[in-house]
């Protein structure tokens, strides 16, 4: 929805129930909220149809509905049907014109948690199990007289838990694993063991035991790269005998998803009817998670003025100087431990990272919860006696400026090149490609770009999850991957394929992007010769660099994870290591950041550098100090809010900040204030920041950056950058080599 929608909705002191009732007639709004929360949808339906007598509950529902209306008209980050994205280009002028939102495209699919559960259920059914191909668990590796591997299970909260398991080496097991490498049916594997002493039934029971313990995994194991997983299931089931009923059921699901993607504003009864049908499959799911949707905005024109590209390029030196290389990283600690243990040896990766016979990963940190045998042990951590504060020259400069701001009661902090010219400028430790999230708004009559940082390890990371639903975005991502690979002569960039948690699969799923993949507790759909299993990877330290080498290719491997997954949270050691390898010797980001000490200030000003806003003004508020918000009389509360705003110079439009989430609050509207109260009532502190898409620039008389039929929208741009110098050097080197090869041939 346009910003005008939210401004019009909250322009008066109060929003009447009649206004909400009228809005609830909009089928697009209803479908968007249903997909986000079916339970909330049902309660709102009850309230606005007059079937709810609880006044307090009605007030809470009012706030909840207003939150979603705020989300779909102010926050651009794609989520469900609330906001979408499309690919754009630079040009001579800014011309971004949207089609009517009813023409937006969408992609709806089943939740990965459900699909994982369905694939596991199918793989256990005898008729299907015996027709599937089975492969060794791709986390399996051999140490001494045993094999080790990672097994997963689901706890009572339906969360995936991992544990390290071991199985003793036997000649029979070796035969099975060797032959299963290319995929074999249960019958074929069992026949390998049949001899004078072992009958077929015993051999089959042994294979079943390997399957139940996840030493062997099926070809319908979950995949987070390539085509949609439901499509993969349908393709495989179509080749199975006695599976016609199952295939028709899957095809019905596919047809349903395709039909609802033809329009916005579907009746929610369609979703409920399908969920009732899915329930007959006896596969557990929650309705609120069953459907996952991404939206792609229909556009008439999507062009941003190229001057913003040039200005962003001129911003880079400042952000570069302001950002330090981390002094001690996980990879540095690992490297030190590796040299101490193995010196110049090359070691299999799985053995080096083994917590018992190797050195593990994340040195000097508590053991991972992936080792289930430690679950019941209490390991006390050392008490923190002092807090080490990292105070560098950049923070010294910013701290002094902040003191001046507070002393003079100013709202703006200005940064200039001369403030940081004396600091080192280093381009050699940045990623090959990076990206930034920026906004453009008219502030105090001037167009400004709001841009705080530029991040890596690849410019494609922020875009990966949208690669399956929009061909233009996929082409852009593949172009980034091609440019990255061009920069390396004898090294291979390989995609990490791992499913850490079933529901995480909804946001880490992506198309096949690179020529090679490293599968680890996740299925790769590439041909086997393009897969680099963990057992193929060797590790060493040379020239102060950790080197990962593929024995099969005899080339150095540089891992890549082309999504925005926060992989460091409870990650398995191998996955964490591979992801950290992306940024070896590189800064992961450059930008403007308030350090932990400065963030404690109650007020932080807007930070400006030339045509850029590097940070919005923000206020840290103690919730206990907002007792005046509890005024039962709306009129008195509004007077108190206005006095409070005047005392602290707080604008009427602010955003509540909660991690990555933002909520637009209109402080001259009682319903919006109540929404704010409901959002912070269980917190001790909250942070609000200014909202820079002002009401004036969203009027019909002023053309916004993104518009549609006189309506103006908020905006958010993901802008990709690459190291042009490095790319040109690589191309020149390749051209010279081609010339030399040609001379040799002549």
- Residues 6+ positions from 681 with CB-CB distance below 8 Å: 623
Lowest mean per-residue pLDDT among 289-303, 491-505, 596-610, 699-713 = 699-713
Helices (H), 442-527: 471-486, 505-508
Return the residue matching tokens 């490609």.
433
**By the 8 A CB rule, do 705 and 715 touch?**
yes
Of 537, 592, 488, 477, give the one whose Cα is nearest residue 139: 537
For residues 483-491, average pLDDT? 94
For residues 21-34, average pLDDT? 97
Model confidence at 255: pLDDT above 60:
yes
pLDDT tens digits, one per residue of 87-97: 999 999 999 99
For residues 362-380, average pLDDT? 41
- Residue-level pLDDT at 158: 67
Q: Whole-angstrom Cα distance, residue 58 to residue 20?
A: 12
Q: Whole-angstrom Cα distance, residue 335 to residue 348?
A: 15
- Residue-level pLDDT at 290: 94
Q: Whole-angstrom Cα distance, residue 692 to residue 704?
A: 12
- Residue-level pLDDT at 325: 82
Model confidence at 381, pLDDT cuts 50, 70, 90, reads very low
Q: Partners of 493 in the beta sheet? A: 558
For residues 427-432, average pLDDT? 94
What is the Rg, in whole angstroms, of the alpha carbon atoms belonging to the chain? 29
- Residue-level pLDDT at 352: 96
Model confidence at 323: pLDDT above 70:
yes
Query: Between 454 and 504, whose confidence is greater?
Result: 454
Of 633, 743, 652, give the one whose Cα is nearest residue 690: 652
Model confidence at 391: pLDDT above 80:
no
Model confidence at 294: pLDDT above 50:
yes
pLDDT tens digits, one per residue of 493-548: 999 999 988 888 888 999 999 999 999 999 999 999 999 999 999 999 999 899 99
Q: In whole numbers, what is the pLDDT of the chain averaged over residues? A: 91
Model confidence at 439: pLDDT above 50:
yes
Helices (H), 52-124: 55-74, 112-124
Model confidence at 696, pLDDT cuts 50, 70, 90, reads low
**By the 8 A CB rule, do 78 and 85 touch?**
yes
CB neighbourhood size of 185 (10 A): 16
Own/partner pairs, 468-474, CB within 8 angstroms, 24+ separation: 468/107, 468/227, 468/228, 468/509, 468/510, 468/511, 469/105, 469/106, 469/107, 469/294, 469/296, 470/85, 470/86, 470/87, 470/105, 470/296, 472/86, 472/87, 473/85, 473/86, 473/87, 473/296, 474/511
CB neighbourhood size of 734 (10 A): 12
Identify the three-state secondary structure at position 721. Answer: strand
Model confidence at 590: pLDDT above 90:
yes
Q: Whole-angstrom Cα distance, residue 442 to residue 166?
A: 61
Model confidence at 364, pLDDT cuts 50, 70, 90, reads low
Query: Between 110 and 701, whose confidence is greater?
Result: 110
Model confidence at 389: pLDDT above 60:
no
Of 501, 662, 510, give the one whose Cα is nearest residue 569: 501
Of 515, 509, 485, 482, give the one whose Cα is nearest residue 497: 509
**By the 8 A CB rule, do 716 and 76 touch?**
yes
- Residue-level pLDDT at 704: 79
Model confidence at 659: pLDDT above 90:
no
CB neighbourhood size of 413 (10 A): 19
Model confidence at 702: pLDDT above 70:
no
- Residue-level pLDDT at 447: 94
pLDDT tens digits, one per residue of 170-220: 999 999 999 999 999 999 999 999 998 999 999 999 999 999 999 999 999
- Residues 6+ positions from 731 with CB-CB distance below 8 Å: 486
Of 349, 327, 413, 370, give the one whose Cα is nearest residue 594: 413
Model confidence at 367: pLDDT above 70:
no
**Token representation of residue 21:** 């009732």
Identify the three-state secondary structure at position 725. Answer: helix
Phi, psi (5° rounding) for residue 25? -80, -10
- Residue-level pLDDT at 697: 54
As a whole number of Å, the end-to-end CA separation of the chain is: 65
Model confidence at 56: pLDDT above 80:
yes
- Residue-level pLDDT at 38: 96
- Residue-level pLDDT at 390: 58
Return the residue matching tokens 């990076």.
434
Model confidence at 375: pLDDT above 50:
no
Q: What percent of the chain has pLDDT over 70?
A: 94
For residues 681-697, average pLDDT? 88
pLDDT tens digits, one per residue of 553-584: 999 999 999 999 989 877 899 999 999 999 99
Q: Whole-angstrom Cα distance, residue 425 to residue 318?
A: 9
Lowest mean per-residue pLDDT among 373-382, 550-559, 596-605 = 373-382
**By the 8 A CB rule, do 507 and 660 touch?**
no
Q: Whole-angstrom Cα distance, residue 702 to residue 741?
A: 61
Q: Whole-angstrom Cα distance, residue 351 to residue 178?
A: 19
Model confidence at 392, pLDDT cuts 50, 70, 90, reads confident
Task: Kindly list the distances between the CA atom of residue 443 and the CA atoms of 74, 96, 308, 449, 706, in Å, as whole numbers in the listed order.
Answer: 17, 19, 16, 10, 15
Query: Between 20 and 161, whose confidence is greater?
Result: 20
For residues 317-331, average pLDDT? 90
Q: Whole-angstrom Cα distance, residue 263 to residue 314?
A: 43
618-622 and 160-168: which strand pairing? unpaired
């Amino acid at each position: 929805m346009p910003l005008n929608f939210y401004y019009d909705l909250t322009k008066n002191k109060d929003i009447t129930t009649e206004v909400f009732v009228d809005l609830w007639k909009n089928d697009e709004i209803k479908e968007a909220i249903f997909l986000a929360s079916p339970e909330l949808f049902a309660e709102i339906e009850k309230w606005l149809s007059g079937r709810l007598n609880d006044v307090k509950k009605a007030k809470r529902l009012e706030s909840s509905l207003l939150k979603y209306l705020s989300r779909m008209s102010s926050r651009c980050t794609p989520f469900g049907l609330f906001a979408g994205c499309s690919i754009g280009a630079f040009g001579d002028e800014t011309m971004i014109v949207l089609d009517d939102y009813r023409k937006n495209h969408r992609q709806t699919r089943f939740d990965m948690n459900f699909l994982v559960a369905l694939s596991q259920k199918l793989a256990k059914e005898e008729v299907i199990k015996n027709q599937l191909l089975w492969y060794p668990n791709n986390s399996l590796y051999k140490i001494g007289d045993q094999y080790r591997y990672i097994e997963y299970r689901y706890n009572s909260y339906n969360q995936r838990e991992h544990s390290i398991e071991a199985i003793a080496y036997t000649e029979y097991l070796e035969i099975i694993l060797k032959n299963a490498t290319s995929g074999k049916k249960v019958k074929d594997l069992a026949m390998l063991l049949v001899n004078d002493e072992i009958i077929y039934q015993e051999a089959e029971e042994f294979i079943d035991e390997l399957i139940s313990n996840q030493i062997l995994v099926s070809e319908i194991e979950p995949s987070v790269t390539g085509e949609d997983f439901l499509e993969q299931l349908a393709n495989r089931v179509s080749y199975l005998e006695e599976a016609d009923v199952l295939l028709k059921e899957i095809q019905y699901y596919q047809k349903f998803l395709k039909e609802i993607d033809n329009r916005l504003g579907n009746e929610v009864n369609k979703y409920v009817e399908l969920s009732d049908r899915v329930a007959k499959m006896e596969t557990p799911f929650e309705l609120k998670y069953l459907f996952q949707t991404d939206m792609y905005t229909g556009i008439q024109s999507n062009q941003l003025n190229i001057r913003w590209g040039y200005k962003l390029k001129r911003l880079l030196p400042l952000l570069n100087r302001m950002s330090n290389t981390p002094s001690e990283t996980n990879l540095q600690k690992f490297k030190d431990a590796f040299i101490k243990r193995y010196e110049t040896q090359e070691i299999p990766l799985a053995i080096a990272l083994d917590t018992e016979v190797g050195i593990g990963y994340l040195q000097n940190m508590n053991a991972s919860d992936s080792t289930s045998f430690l679950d019941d042990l209490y390991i006390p951590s050392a008490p923190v006696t002092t807090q080490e504060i990292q105070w560098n020259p950049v923070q010294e400069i910013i701290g002094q400026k902040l003191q001046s701001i507070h002393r003079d009661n100013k709202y703006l902090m200005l940064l200039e090149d001369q403030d940081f010219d004396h600091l080192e400028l280093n381009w050699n430790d940045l990623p090959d490609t990076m990206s930034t999230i920026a906004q453009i708004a008219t502030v105090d009559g001037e167009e400004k770009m709001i841009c705080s940082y530029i991040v890596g390890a690849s410019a494609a990371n922020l875009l990966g999850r949208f690669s399956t639903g929009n061909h233009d975005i996929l082409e852009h991502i593949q172009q980034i991957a091609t440019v990255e690979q061009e920069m390396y002569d004898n090294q291979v960039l390989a995609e990490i394929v791992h499913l850490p948690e079933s529901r995480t699969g909804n946001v880490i799923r992506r198309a096949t992007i690179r020529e090679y993949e490293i599968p680890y507790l996740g299925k790769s759909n590439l041909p086997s010769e393009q897969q680099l299993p963990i057992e193929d990877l060797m590790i060493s330290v040379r020239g102060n660099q950790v080197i990962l080498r593929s024995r099969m290719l005899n080339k150095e491997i540089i891992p890549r994870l082309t999504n925005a997954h926060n992989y460091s949270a409870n990650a398995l050691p191998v996955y964490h290591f591979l992801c950290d390898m992306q940024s070896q010797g590189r800064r992961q980001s450059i930008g403007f950041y308030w350090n932990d000490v400065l963030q404690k200030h109650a007020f932080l000003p807007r930070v400006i550098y030339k045509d850029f806003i590097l940070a919005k003004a923000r206020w840290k508020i103690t919730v206990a100090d907002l007792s005046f918000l509890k005024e039962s009389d709306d009129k008195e509360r509004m007077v108190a809010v206005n006095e409070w705003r005047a005392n602290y110079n707080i604008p009427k439009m602010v955003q509540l900040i909660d991690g990555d989430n933002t909520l637009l609050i209109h402080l001259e509207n009682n319903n919006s204030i109540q929404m704010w109260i409901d959002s912070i009532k269980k917190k001790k502190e909250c942070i609000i920041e200014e909202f820079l898409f002002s009401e004036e620039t969203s009027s019909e008389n002023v053309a916004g950056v993104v518009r549609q039929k006189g309506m103006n929208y908020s905006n958010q741009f993901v802008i990709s950058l690459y190291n042009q110098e490095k790319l040109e050097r690589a191309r020149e080197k390749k051209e010279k080599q081609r010339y030399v090869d040609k001379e040799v041939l002549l």
